[in-house]
Amino acid sequence: MSDFRQPPLPVQGAYAGTEGVVRNRVLRNTYWLLALSMIPTVLGALVGLSSGMNRFMAASPGTSAIVFLIGAFGLMYLVERNKESSLGVALLLAFTFFMGLMLSRLIGHVLGFSNGSQLIMLAFGGTAVVFGAMASVATTTKRDFSHWQKFLFIGVVILIVASLANIFLQLPALVLTVSVMAIAIFSAFLLVDLQRVIRGGETNYVSATLAIYLDVYNIFANLLMLLGIFGGNRE
């Protein structure tokens, strides 16, 4: 009789193996698409700088904030709606180009320093270190960080409200506070998002890439902001 109870074991093993293959494929595709998304981001920043859009955004912070919110959330909505098709990939790349355009304002400001190029490379290196550290923790730890999401989301809402308020308040201390909090919050979000992909909680690589890209983008932008404030050299 025991012979008739043996087949379920290979079936269960095959299911686990298939699940592992899917998880690895999502993770691999996510990393590839994340790397690819850096190209339109850089192109967007270059277009913003060469066209003078960065100066327009600096002169009209209120208008640029409205454009950013409408453009970013609109494109993110479209990406999620089409994430199961190749259109989702195209929309994601369009989104990253748009984010590069929006980043050109900060990059243009930092390039105004004599050591601006070094600060940008330093911010890039710092972001890479944070990414590597979070990926290492997400891969090796047995602790589940998914319960952080609710609190981190609240933190992001607070950051958005504080950033919009500071357009009118113009408080240097608030800029510093928001940037430091943003680096901490999005580093934690990066850990959560990476762990979700690594453990198979996210099965769509377009959605996974979008989430991780936003984490990396915000870490880089706010790190560059802090480096410009404390390390910028006008001489």
Q: How far apart are CA 94 and CA 88, in angstroms?
A: 10
Determine the average pLDDT of the residues in 17-40. 87
Confidence of residue 44 (pLDDT cuts 50, 70, 90): very high
pLDDT at 204 over 90: yes
- Enumerate the domain spans of the chain: 2-231
Cβ-proximal residues to 2 (8 Å cutoff; 6+ apart), any chain? none
Q: How far apart are CA 169 and CA 53, in angstroms?
A: 24
pLDDT tens digits, 63-116 = 898 999 999 999 999 999 999 999 999 999 999 999 999 999 999 999 999 999
pLDDT at 197 over 80: yes
How many C-beta atoms surround the C-beta of residue 74 within 10 A?
12
How many C-beta atoms surround the C-beta of residue 165 within 10 A?
12
| pLDDT value, residue 5 | 44
Q: What is the pTM of this model?
A: 0.89
Residue count of the chain: 235
pLDDT at 17 over 80: no
How many C-beta atoms surround the C-beta of residue 77 within 10 A?
11
Confidence of residue 6 (pLDDT cuts 50, 70, 90): very low
Percentage of the chain surpassing pLDDT 90?
70
What b/e string do you get for 117-136 counting C-beta neighbours within 10 Å, with b at 16 or more?
eebbeebeebbeebbeebbe
